[in-house]
Amino acid sequence: MSDIAAPAALPASRQPPVRMTGPLAWLRENLFSSWWSTAVTLALAYLLIRYALGFVDWAFVNAIWSVPTGANGLPDTSSCRNNPGGACWAVITEKHRFILFGTYPFDEHWRPMLVCALFVGLYIVSAMRRFWNWRIVPIWLVTLSLIGVLMWGGVFGLTYVPQERWGGLPITLILATFGLAFAFPLAILVALGRRSKLPAIKAICVLYVELIRGVPLISLLFMASVMFPLFLPEGMNIDKLLRAQIAIILFAGAYLAEVVRGGLQALPKGQYEAADALGLSYWKKTLLIVLPQALRLVIPPLVNTFIGFFKDTSLVLIIGIFDLLTAGKTAIIEPQWQGFGVEVYVVLGIIYFIFCFAMSKYSAGLEAEFNRHRRR
């Protein structure tokens, strides 16, 4: 050991220690490694199986899928009421169109249905990196105008449907899509503004973020729906949905701005200096060097906020806008359906979950793809 000068031959490499692999080894290592671990595993397995079986019984085996029409022309739900051990999916069978589209005229339901399909199509196209160029702008403009035409009607032989009659899933998708589509660019500008060297711009951005963050979304929605019209001149009226939309955009913008600022702050100073030294102007530096890196860093908290706001749109129920959740609640107000809330909420939960889980999975893929450059 002391003779470091001698050109000793390299010692022969040893094999790494043998590790047991395969599912059995995994089970033994993680679930049954000691008597204590074994006991916990067995106890949890018992509970898991018991409740899973209970759920299957409730949701499938004992469930009632439809009910007959009673003598008074209304659905007769007595069979459901006499079956406490099973789900009454009949409420979904009967009410699914109301839950999905609210009070939109029944014969025109194909229109909001098409709108939902257009939204989903828009998400899928926007998620494809092939379209991440100027083409995305006309795609969004055309799709959103098409959605407006379909929802309102009044042209091309479509009957006019006032905004008060809209409801259900389209409302949720409209609030979330427009909300995040406008809030995100706003957030980037505010985050950049907060780091600006110009005191006025910085002060405005700080004030905006702190004011909006300091109040609950509910009070902001109340202000938009109740107080805001009081300040408008006589006879002037801005659509209620639009007012709620603006409140959501402002609220989401403040939160997203802080997320984006986190990314800006995480970027090493050397990146700014290198861009400066190459002669890039402020906007070129920001768009080509700073934002691409800063936004990649904050994909997880960004998507976290996106998902949070997708669900927060349901708060518009307090100002009487019929989003998906409100439509679901309203569907079980009729006396014959009262008491079947669980079934409705399970279905609503599944719909929300599908959208949120898709966002989550997509962001995980995006993160892996975008951080490729960090791999060796």
Convert residues 292-331 into a mask of x (bound to another protein by CB under 8 A) and - (unbound): xx--x-----------------------------------
Stretch binding another protein (CB under 8 A), from 87-95, 128-136, 280-288, 305-313? 280-288
Closest to another protein by CB, 278 vs 342, is 278
What is the nearest approach in angstroms of another protein to the Cβ of residue 287?
A: 9
Stretch binding another protein (CB under 8 A), from 164-172, 198-206, 271-279, 319-327? 271-279
129 binds another protein (CB under 8 A): no
Convert residues 2-31 into a mask of x (bound to another protein by CB under 8 A) and - (unbound): ------------------------------
What is the nearest approach in angstroms of another protein to the Cβ of residue 260?
A: 16
Closest to another protein by CB, 29 vs 276, is 276
Which of 37, 126, 196, 271 binds another protein (CB under 8 A)? It is: 271
Contact indicator for 66, 76 with CB cutoff of 8 Å: no
What is the nearest approach in angstroms of another protein to the Cβ of residue 282?
A: 9
Closest to another protein by CB, 29 vs 273, is 273
- H helix or E strand, kind and range, residue 255: helix 240-266
Dist. CA 275–CA 288, nearest whole Å: 9
Nearest by Cα to 75 from 327, 337, 330: 337
Residues in the chain: 376
Amino acid (1-letter code) at residue 322: F
376 binds another protein (CB under 8 A): yes
Q: What is the CA radius of gyration of the chain?
A: 28
Which of 215, 288, 354, 368 binds another protein (CB under 8 A)? It is: 288
Nearest by Cα to 237 from 312, 322, 164: 164
Longest Cα separation, the chain: 103
Stretch binding another protein (CB under 8 A), from 87-95, 229-237, 270-278, 354-362? 270-278
Q: Give whole-number Cα distances, 329 to 99, 100, 114, 217, 344, in Å.
A: 8, 12, 23, 21, 8
Stretch binding another protein (CB under 8 A), from 33-41, 101-109, 307-315, 368-376? 368-376
Look up residue 20 and give its DSSP letter.
-
Total number of residues binding another protein (CB under 8 A)?
24
3-class secondary-structure state, position 156: coil
Closest to another protein by CB, 122 vs 289, is 289
Closest to another protein by CB, 183 vs 188, is 188
Which of 14, 130, 197, 372 binds another protein (CB under 8 A)? It is: 372
Q: Which 219-248 residues touch another protein, going by CB under 8 A?
A: none
244 CB neighbour count, 10 Å cutoff: 25
Nearest by Cα to 322 from 201, 155, 164, 210: 164
Listed in sequence order, the residues at least 6 apart from 241 whose beta carbon sits closer than 8 Å to its beta carbon are 163, 166, 171, 174, 175, 321
Which of 88, 115, 183, 289 binds another protein (CB under 8 A)? It is: 289
Instruction: Measure the CA angle with vertex 271, ends 183 and 293; round to 5°.
Output: 35
197 binds another protein (CB under 8 A): no
Q: Give whole-number Cα distances, 180 to 183, 211, 215, 309, in Å.
A: 5, 19, 19, 8
| Residues at the interface with another protein (CB under 8 A) | 268, 270-271, 273-281, 284, 288-289, 292-293, 296, 370, 372-376
